[in-house]
Structures are given as C-alpha cells and as structure tokens.
Amino acid sequence: MNNKILRRLKIRKKIRKKINGTFLIPRLSIYKSNKTIYAQLIDDEAGVTLASACSLKLKGNINIEKSKEVGKILAKKAILKGIHNVIFDRSGYIYHGKIKALAEGAKEKGLIF
C-alpha cells in the first residue's frame, strides 16, 4: 500500500480508539473517494447507521460546494430524527477543503459538534 494511505489508516485507528458514538450523540463518520464523499451518523453501541448522505445524487464533479451540500442534507436528516449533538470523526483525513466544507454545512443547519 501507499505510504499516504497507511498514514491515514494509522491516524484513523487512533481516532477510533478515543471516540465512540451513542444513540443520543452519534459519530459523524466521513469517507472520501476521488469522485464522491459519504457521511453517516453511527450509533456504535447498537452498531446501527442512523442517517447517511452522499454526493452521488448531486450533479457535477465533487468539489467544496457539493461537500457542503452533503453536510446540509445529513444535518436535515439528523434533526428530523431528533439528533442535535454529534461527535465528528474525520477518519484520518486532514480537516481542510472538502472535509471542512462538509462539517461547516452540517453546522449551518444546526448540528452541534
């Protein structure tokens, strides 16, 4: 494997040791590929995904605006289910660019990190 991928996985493992989502405060997990970005709210105690959103249904190439829109969509779904507080899991990605835009979009619609 590539050193960059191994570094990210190592950081991800460290992050996952420290944070754990519950039903009241789920974990907002992010995965970013070259074409899409995925976000989901996870209850780690029950092992259940509470809400999810991705950029597949949005038109055009992935960029910062689409990432922000995914964050807004996820926040709307979470608030409809009565979830206001979340734990942010960046999955080893640097808090910059698309990851930051997704977090800001979710914060704009009312999620509290």
Q: Which helix (H) or strand (E) holds 105?
A: helix 98-108
Q: Dump pLDDT digits (tens) for 1-14.
A: 789 889 989 998 89
Q: Can you give the pLDDT at residue 49?
A: 95
Q: Can you give the pTM of this predicted structure? A: 0.88
Over range 37-46, report the average pLDDT. Answer: 94
Cα distance between residue 113 and residue 87, in whole Å: 6
Q: Can you give the pLDDT at residue 19?
A: 87
Domains and CATH numbers, the chain: 26-108 (3.30.420.100)
Q: Dump pLDDT digits (tens) for 57-99.
A: 888 776 899 999 999 999 999 999 999 999 999 998 999 999 9
Cα distance between residue 3 and residue 12, in whole Å: 14
Q: Which helix (H) or strand (E) holds 63?
A: none
